[in-house]
Amino acid sequence: MKNSPFSAKFAVLNNLKRYSLLVFLVTLTSLLSACQLTPPEKIEVIEKKPEVINYSQYYLWLKSLTNAQVLAEESTQKENLKEHPTEKVTLQGKLVLIYCLPKTPLHHPYKAKRLLNELLLVSNTMTKDNLAFTMLLRDQLNTQLHLLQKQEQLEKEFTRVTEKNKATIELQKEQLNLVNQQLMLLKQIDQNINKRG
């Protein structure tokens, strides 16, 4: 059989197709394996971490404020608590310190103690300094609340004793008036006897 130029061309084209297909498959395989060999870039989601606050520094700052400024700060912290519930621990800690401030219109140790107890139950991310400060604050609030209860009891006892003493004084006044009336009667009788005698 004689090879025709047409069959030679056909054979060359056929070989070229095979070669092209082989090159294409090798290239495709290398590209796909390269995608699998290189790890995908990690996209880091940056979460806003709650502000770390130093409670002792914040308390000292609060002490430097006027009563009006303290009221404004409480309002700000309450508003922040509504707007940023994820920062509840930090904001509630600030409110505890505001309610602990003596000689301010917001001084309320019972409210401070309640919020502090809630704060200690949910907070496990406090720094050592803040934890020490809150423990000290808790002890001080416990002492203050104990003294307030004792003061209330003494005031009740004082009121009771005062009322009892008032009743005794009123009774003694009545007795004194009665004795004075009897004395006046006796003086009149004595004067009448002296006039006759």
Residues 62 and 98: beta-carbon distance below 8 Å: yes
Residue 116's nearest CA partner among 159, 196, 59, 172 is 59
**Is a pLDDT exceeding 70 seen at residue 109?**
yes
Mean pLDDT, range 69-87, rounded to an integer: 91
Residue 55's nearest CA partner among 85, 94, 89, 81 is 94
Q: What is the DSSP string of 104-140?
A: STT--HHHHHHHHHHHHHH-----HHHHHHHHHHHHH
The pTM of the whole model exceeds 0.95: no
Residue 98's nearest CA partner among 89, 87, 108 is 108
Residues 44 and 82: beta-carbon distance below 8 Å: no
Extract the tokens encoding 166: 């008032």
Extract the tokens encoding 190: 């004595």
Q: Quote the pLDDT of residue 65.
A: 92
Mean pLDDT, range 119-140, rounded to an integer: 84
**Is a pLDDT exceeding 80 seen at residue 3?**
no
Mean pLDDT, range 151-166, rounded to an integer: 94
Residue 141 to residue 135: CA distance in whole angstroms: 10
pLDDT band at 19 (very low <50, low <70, confident <90, very high): confident
Residue 107 to residue 140: CA distance in whole angstroms: 14
Residue 30 to residue 38: CA distance in whole angstroms: 12
**Is a pLDDT exceeding 60 seen at residue 40?**
no
**Is a pLDDT exceeding 80 seen at residue 4?**
no
Residue 96's nearest CA partner among 66, 53, 127 is 53
Residues 62 and 95: beta-carbon distance below 8 Å: no
Q: Quote the pLDDT of residue 177.
A: 94
Mean pLDDT, range 147-155, rounded to an integer: 94
- What is the chain's mean pLDDT, rounded? 83
